[in-house]
A and B are shown apart, each in its own frame.
Chain A
Amino acid sequence: MTGLLPDRIRDAIANTSVFAASKSFGVVALSLLVMLLLERETLRMAGFQRGRLLALTVVSAPLLIAVALTIVARFAIVIH
């Protein structure tokens, strides 16, 4: 029993295929990731906001890994 991945979330994941999950939860994560990366690039090009860039990078990193793993999982299912 943990607050990081409680029963309700585990059930939601277990009852959904990788394809269905990537079309629902995956799209939410991907949309957020794209928005954060766009904002990060805008700020980076302006050349300021070091602390804010750090925050955006830190928040984007786990989302990027999750999205990348989802893409790999979908790809693996397709070629399998």
Chain B
Amino acid sequence: MSASRVARGVTPGSAAISADVVVRHPIAPFVCVAACIFVQAALIAPGDVLAGDAADAVLVFLLLQAAPRPIGRNAQFSRARAAILALVLVPLIRVVGLALPLRDGSGAAGVLSVAILIGGAALGLAPAVGLSRRTLLPTGLARSQLPTVLVGLVLGVFAYLLGAPSLWSSGAPSPQVMLAVLAAACAAVVEEIVFRGVVQLTLQRVALVTGMLASSALFAATYLESYSGPLILAYALAGLMFARSVARTGALGAPVVGHILLVLGAGALWPTLFGRVHPSPIFESCSTIALVLAVAVMTVISIVRPLQPPSGDGVDLS
């Protein structure tokens, strides 16, 4: 392969050359989203963790090959490339989480390690996908964003009533409790930076509403590996609400605060104040129906009442 070919943006290997053509189509990022969700739902969630890990590693490699440098000034191509590059973070979470030697450490230490590594990767990848790091860092909180924060608070109560697992075991010493709270808060921030920040903002550039819904579906899919259906639905609903907030304002402050209130409320605050609850099967069934309806209604509202896209941050995608 000649140096001039590499200079034009074609990486070694026929896969990269064919991907160069495929990525020109705006549907390509959504095919990649579907592939990420398929690996989560078909391999890791049923328990084929090693197969899922290998599939995620292959996805990381293929997504990186499918996002070569754009040739010319095709804006749609640049957006699709950026969206595919942003999606690399999703399978990378699993590959890194499984590769870390976490067996003898606490769960909180593991979550904190993954959050730091993936958060750093997300912030590092931001310029390559046309986002400024300042866009991704939660700064202020406008009064108009308070409903999003309240959504996190209310869904935190709901998740607690549905029996969300506590962040620490009973009788844990203070340092362990502090570490668990810190890890949960960091994980919430990093999840927002990855899913609402890097992934959603880049997918929205390709297709506004579809991008928002795709990033929300991807966020919900990462919870498929948990054991409770109603809790997965509660997080899916939270993801949709937070995604609408980001689609409307382009700011991550409210979703970050809302997500922190959700996880700390469900796993720390309400269990400490009121003790553990064990939801009855009837309550779980009713909650599942209500949450399915709420997610469906939110999805329909998102489709029929599309929001204004956030303003660009002036970074050249090419």
Q: Is the CB of A55 within 8 A of B120?
A: no
Within 8 A of B (CB), among A13-31: 13-14, 16-18, 21-22, 24-26, 28-29, 31
CB distance from A57 to the nearest CB of B (A): 8
The answer to whether A8 touches B47, judged by C-beta atoms less than 8 angstroms apart, is yes
**A67 on the B face (CB < 8 A):** yes
Task: Find the B residue at minimum CB distance from A30.
Answer: B99
A10, B114: Cα distance in complex, Å: 12
Residues of B within 8 A of A61 (CB): 117, 120-121, 124
B45 interface hit (Cβ, 8 Å): yes
Q: Are A36 and B61 in contact (CB under 8 A)?
A: yes
* Binary interface encoding of chain A residues 1-18 relative to chain B, with 1 for a CB under 8 A from any of its CBs, else 0: 111111111101110111
B117 x A66 contact (CB < 8 A): yes
Does B100 lie within 8 Å of A69, measured CB to CB?
yes
**Chain A interface extent, by class:** 35 or more
Does B188 sit at the interface, judged by CB under 8 A?
yes
Question: For residue A5, which residues in chain B have a CB less than 8 angstroms away from its CB?
Answer: 97, 107, 110-111, 114, 187
Whether A69 pairs with B98 at a CB distance below 8 angstroms is no
B313–chain A nearest beta-carbon distance, Å = 16
Q: Among A56, A62, A66, which residue has the most Cβ atoms of chain B within 10 A?
A: A62
Q: Mark A51-80, 1 if CB is under 8 A from B, else 0.
A: 110111111011101110110011000000
Q: A54-B124, A56-B64 are in contact. Are A4 and B164 (CB under 8 A)?
A: no
Q: Chain B residues near A4: list those with CB within 8 A.
A: 93, 97, 111, 114-115, 118, 187, 190-191, 222
Assess whether B95 is in contact with A32, with CB atoms less than 8 Å apart: yes
CA distance A8 to B107 in the complex (A): 12
> Across the interface, do A29 and B95 meet the contact criterion of CB distance under 8 Å?
yes
- The reply to whether A32 and B61 contact each other, CB–CB distance below 8 Å, is yes
A4, A9, A12, A54 pick with most chain B CB within 10 angstroms: A4
Interchain CB contact under 8 A, A66 and B100: yes
Are A1's CB and B266's CB within 8 A? Answer: yes
> Once bound together, how far apart are the Cα atoms of A14 and B109, in whole Å?
13
- Residue pair B102, A13 in contact (C-beta under 8 Å): yes
B232-274 CB contacts (< 8 Å) to partner A:
235, 263, 266-267
In whole angstroms, what is the CA distance A46 to B5 when docked?
10
Is B3's CB within 8 Å of the partner chain A? yes
Chain A residues with Cβ under 8 A from B6's Cβ? 43, 46, 48-49
